[in-house]
Structure 1
Amino acid sequence: MFCFKNARELTCLFAVAVCVLTGHSLANESEFQEEFLKREYSLSKPYRGLGFSSSSFWDLMGNAMVTPDHVRLTPDLQSRQGAVWSRIPLFLQDWELKVHFKIHGVGKKNLNGDGMAVWLTRDRMQDGPAFGNMAQFVGLGILVDTYPNSEPGDKSFPYISVMLGNGTVSYDHDRDGRPSALAGCSALVRNSLYDTFLLVRYSRYKLRVMVDVDGKQEWKPCVDIRGLRLPTGYFLGASSATGDLSDNHDIISMKLYQLTVEKTPEEEAEEQESVLLPRVDDMEQFIVIVEEEGMSGVQLFVTLLFSVLGVGVLAVIGLMFYGRWTEKRRKRFY
């Protein structure tokens, strides 16, 4: 039997037990964040009045449609685009977004595409080549790409990447967004036997993206970016697009939580500084060096051939001018 001298010792022991059982350590206690579901920024069943009622917090766009079980952004048909966008801008400094989604198709093996994206952007309801959104967006994009349009290299698809747009950087669809991606990870999110989840957490200017796709009810880290500055007043959304290849892209729920974080006076003062455009403090760490593709054998042969012909033509012209100059010089001596 255990004896405790006072209630304080009992409270401390209880706190340690809670930390052990929940997987948190005392070292991370200062980062504890309490969550509050914000229904005005969340999308879940039943989807009453979605896109049609003035009381709805969300709008539908393109080929998106509502079913009792999900919001289908695009069906398994070619050349479709669809999206769902929040009507209310987000003004929270610290938040967490949990997305329950499903990407699936039949009878095509690896011939599927193109993917979907989750957005927090200045502009809403704008279609385009970036998974159903504009290519030169301003804000944050979490891109779930299921088909490699270029050589995958060291990436395994499906691939989840993070892009930060400031209105001048354009998403390059043909190169799977490689030049503008800050970070990413591979995740088997297509035709999964289990529910697939994506978690995006933004707090203290730190962005974390985690996934749960293998049925273990565990969040696995995907992206961790520090010093990322996002303006407030942007809109949440999710979009998808299909091209020659297609899939069903479904949103089952999007739930946004406000995080209550204890901050120092310095951090609170820093939050008062306005952020005009999205940025990363140390952008150099994310610079992607794009190497030019080498020429093929045929291209090299043709290049050398025309180079030799060019040199030959210049040599003939030079000899002709030299001959005329020599002839005129001789006439002067007669």
Structure 2
Amino acid sequence: MRCDNSYQVREHSLIKPYNDDRWDFTGSTIISSTAVRLTSDYQGQRGAIWNNIPCRLRNWEMHVHFKVDGKGSELFGDGFAIWYTKEKMEMGPVFGNRDKFTGLAIFFDTYANQNGAHNHGHPYVSAMINNGTLSYDHDRDGTHTELSGCESNFRKSRFETFAAIRYEKNKLTVSLDISGRNEWKLCFTTSNVHLPTEYFFGATAATGDLSDNHEIMSIKVFDISEGKVVTEDDADYSNVVPNAEYFAPPRDHVDDPKLSTLSRLTGWKLVGVFVLAAVGIIVCLMIGYILFNKTQQTSRKRLY
């Protein structure tokens, strides 16, 4: 995807041996010789890595080498996210990061929530632009604030998994390489996306009742400005309010067939199921008791 004149920007890139003081780590993050593990395959974890140098590039491309796997074969979650935001190192409920963020998020979502208004399967890759006022709706898997997205079987892939996030001339493009062919496959592209400079790159992940290993092997950022000189007009680019002219429309919910009916029930619905089950058991016991008494009475009559 990169232009011939592009070059890797070391101050925004994360590569082995991960001892770069330009990146900060927090939460459940574990650093090894081969990867940065944001979460392990345990419940209730949140981990993050953040570049502490603001990006001053007008046009950039990021390549992320990642891995998501775990013991679960039917149920797993929740996923991870790549960020370009004004805030950094603020833990929260959105894949380990704060809600009502300011900037861009690319979500790698592995779990279909119960009330998700979507007609796609999971895992799912999507984008969201936020000016600091929008909340990410977990129950609907973010469908009402989604720019665009695509299904992608990146979890437990037999091959190395990569994502390319390109922002050039107000156009956002996300491509994936998960099939071992060493070529990018377009996930989505959307125009009229406005992002400022001076924001920070980061990656976060979270587990809840379900879990997975979420690992980052490398993050490489490239300058794709094609050698253009910064002008006076670029000086005010840091004041741009993140926005996009297009959002995906709300969609009807289609249940994920991989999830059992009981596993999709939460809250009062789950309580209702248990109450109905308990009532059914009580009724069965009462009927059994009545039939048993009648049988005993009949047996006594025969004895006389």
Task: Report TM bin, short chain.
Answer: 0.7 to 0.9
Distance 2:227 2:192 in 1: 18
Q: CA deviation at 1:152?
A: 6.7
Distance 2:18 2:41 in 1: 22
Which of 34, 38, 43 is 2:9 aligned to? 38
- Corresponding residue for 1:84? 49
Q: Which has the higher contact order (CA 8 A, sep 6+)?
A: 2
Q: Is 1:101 the equivalent of 2:66? A: yes
Distance 2:153 2:216 in 1: 17
Which of 244, 247, 250 is 1:286 aligned to? 247
Distance 1:253 1:272 in 2: 30
Q: Which whole-Å deviations, capped at 9, do the CAs of 1:23-82 have from their partners, x for residues lacking one? A: x9xxxxxx955211111100011112x5xxxxx110001010100100000000000000
Distance 2:243 2:73 in 1: 39
Query: After the TM superposition, which of the residue ranges 188-197 and 150-159 deviates more from structure 2?
Result: 150-159
Q: Which whole-Å deviations, capped at 9, do the CAs of 1:204-260 have from their partners, x for residues lacking one? A: 111110000111111011121111111110000000000000000000000001113
Distance 1:261 1:201 in 2: 14
Distance 2:39 2:100 in 1: 22
- Please say if residues 177 and 184 of structure 2, whose CA atoms lie closer than 8 Å, have aligned partners that are also in contact: yes
Distance 1:210 1:270 in 2: 30
- Please say if residues 118 and 251 of structure 2, whose CA atoms lie closer than 8 Å, have aligned partners that are also in contact: no
Relative to the length of structure 1, the TM-score reads 0.71
Q: Which whole-Å deviations, capped at 9, do the CAs of 1:128-181 have from their partners, x for residues lacking one? A: 110000111000000000000134742110000000011101111121111111
Which of 87, 102, 106 is 1:142 aligned to? 106
Runs of 4 or more above 4 Å deviation = 267-273
Which of 151, 154, 161 is 1:196 aligned to? 161
Distance 2:189 2:118 in 1: 22
Q: CA deviation at 1:276?
A: 2.8
Which of 123, 126, 142 is 1:158 aligned to? 123
- Please say if residues 119 and 251 of structure 2, whose CA atoms lie closer than 8 Å, have aligned partners that are also in contact: no
Distance 1:290 1:152 in 2: 5
- Please say if residues 33 and 260 of structure 1, whose CA atoms lie closer than 8 Å, have aligned partners that are also in contact: no
Distance 1:154 1:94 in 2: 33
Higher Rg: 1
Change (3 A) 1:97 1:234: same
The one-letter amino acid paired with 1:44 is: I
% identical equivalent positions: 42
Q: Is 1:252 the equivalent of 2:217? A: yes
SS of match in other structure, 2:98: coil
- Where do 5+ consecutive residues of structure 1 fail to align? 1-23, 25-30, 51-55, 293-334
- Please say if residues 118 and 252 of structure 2, whose CA atoms lie closer than 8 Å, have aligned partners that are also in contact: no
- Where do 5+ consecutive residues of structure 2 fail to align? 254-304
Relative to the length of structure 2, the TM-score reads 0.78
What is the count of residue pairs matched by the alignment?
252
